[in-house]
């Protein structure tokens, strides 16, 4: 990809799908849901979520074991114990795992227990971490920094690709705005633009973008309409008791209706939500 992404010659006709598992890829006709808790809190919590997620035909379990929180007094995750829990639940229900690595040293550990390495918004330009992910043998989900331009986001992806790993999934998770009514601003135009300017699949995180459970569904529909290849969603058995990001977590009871509603948008575009 050329350094100046505004050039017309950088536009691509088709996203290059990333294979997640045999028979499952992202970036094609199927829209992939990655669903789970913001933070892994216990085996029981994650097991209940895994059971519901798998019953709906969703294939990827998301969950945070290492949680970079703004406040040092907030719940920081279970660490390696959380990875063990995610892996055990995923194996029981036949799911894939996506979880975040926060440091270069965590890449081997996260790779051992997960199928997709997530690079969080705060680490989008942590270049040694990007290089380490580029040398890993796992797909990498790269979140856009909440104050980063599209060009900076795509150049961060190139840091990964230059190390030999082109199994990159871009994630638009909302950028910082001036209005506190929503947590961030979901930039749906950037989803369409990133798909034109790079070969990588692009997904959306409507949970972090809105910060409100009641806005996650409309934001998800908008993201899919803009061309998103997947969705990263937060759910919890009892959202009000979640140890992190409680306001944006969907209840498990609402997940079936959510998938049905977003599925209608996907089918209108001749795609399928799983």
Condensed to tens digits (0 to 9), the pLDDT of residues 91-144 reads 999 999 999 999 999 999 999 999 999 999 999 999 999 999 999 999 999 999
Residue pair 94/274 in contact (Cβ under 8 Å)? The answer is no
pLDDT at position 8, please? Answer: 41
Write 71-78 long-range contacts (CB < 8 A, 24+): 74/244, 75/39, 75/41, 75/243, 75/244, 77/39, 77/40, 78/39, 78/40, 78/41
Residue pair 196/226 in contact (Cβ under 8 Å)? The answer is no
- For residue range 204-213, list pLDDT tens digits in order: 999 999 999 9
How confident is the prediction for the chain on average, in pLDDT? Answer: 94
Smallest Cα–Cα separation from 261: which of 192, 194, 198, 206? Answer: 206
Six-digit token string for 56: 């709906």
Number of helices (H) and strands (E), helices first, in the chain? Answer: 9, 12
The mean per-residue pLDDT over the stretch 226-247 comes to 96
- For residue range 13-38, list pLDDT tens digits in order: 589 999 999 999 999 999 999 999 99
pLDDT band with cut points at 50, 70 and 90 for residue 10: very low
Measured distance between the N- and C-terminal CA atoms of the chain, rounded to whole angstroms: 30
Written as one string, the DSSP assignment of 36-84 is: E-SB---HHHHHHHHHHHHHTT--EEE-BSS---SSTTS----THHHHH
Is the pTM for the entire model greater than 0.85? Answer: yes
How far is 252 from 258, CA to CA, in rounded Å?
Answer: 10
The mean per-residue pLDDT over the stretch 147-158 comes to 98
The mean per-residue pLDDT over the stretch 139-150 comes to 98
Give the architecture-level CATH label for domain 28-67+75-273.
Answer: Alpha-Beta Barrel (3.20)
- For residue range 175-222, list pLDDT tens digits in order: 999 999 999 999 999 999 999 999 999 999 999 999 999 999 999 999
Is the torsion defined by CA of 184, 186, 191, 193 positive or negative?
negative
What residues does 60 pair with on adjacent strands? 34, 96
pLDDT above 70 covers a percentage of the chain that reads 95
How far is 241 from 86, CA to CA, in rounded Å?
Answer: 20
Is the backbone of residue 164 left (phi > 0), alpha (psi -120 to 50) or beta?
Answer: left
How far is 112 from 87, CA to CA, in rounded Å?
Answer: 9
Six-digit token string for 48: 């209940």
């Amino acid at each position: 990809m050329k350094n100046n992404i505004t050039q017309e010659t950088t536009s691509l006709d088709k996203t290059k799908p990333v294979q997640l598992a045999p028979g499952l890829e992202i970036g094609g006709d199927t829209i992939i849901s990655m669903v789970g808790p913001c933070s892994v809190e216990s085996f029981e919590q994650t097991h209940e979520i895994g059971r519901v997620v798998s019953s709906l035909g969703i294939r990827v379990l998301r969950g945070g074991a290492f949680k970079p929180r703004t406040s040092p007094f907030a719940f920081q995750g279970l660490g390696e114990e959380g990875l063990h829990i995610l892996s055990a639940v995923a194996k029981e229900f036949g799911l894939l795992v996506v979880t975040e690595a926060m440091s270069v040293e965590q890449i081997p550990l996260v790779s051992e227990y997960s199928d997709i390495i997530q690079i969080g918004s705060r680490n989008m330009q942590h270049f040694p971490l990007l290089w380490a992910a580029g040398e890993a043998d796992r797909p990498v989900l790269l979140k856009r920094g909440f104050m980063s331009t599209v060009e900076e986001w795509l150049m961060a992806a190139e840091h990964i690709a230059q190390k030999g790993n082109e199994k990159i999934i871009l994630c638009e998770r909302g950028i910082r705005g001036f209005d506190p009514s929503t947590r961030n601003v979901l930039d749906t135009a950037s989803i369409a633009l990133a798909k034109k300017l790079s070969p990588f699949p692009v997904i959306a995180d409507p949970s972090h973008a809105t910060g409100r459970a009641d806005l996650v569904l409309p934001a998800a529909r908008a993201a899919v309409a803009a061309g998103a290849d997947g969705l990263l969603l937060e759910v919890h058995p009892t959202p009000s008791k979640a140890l992190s990001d409680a306001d944006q977590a969907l209840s498990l009871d609402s997940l079936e209706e959510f998938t049905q509603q977003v599925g209608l948008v996907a089918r209108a575009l001749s795609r399928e939500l799983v």
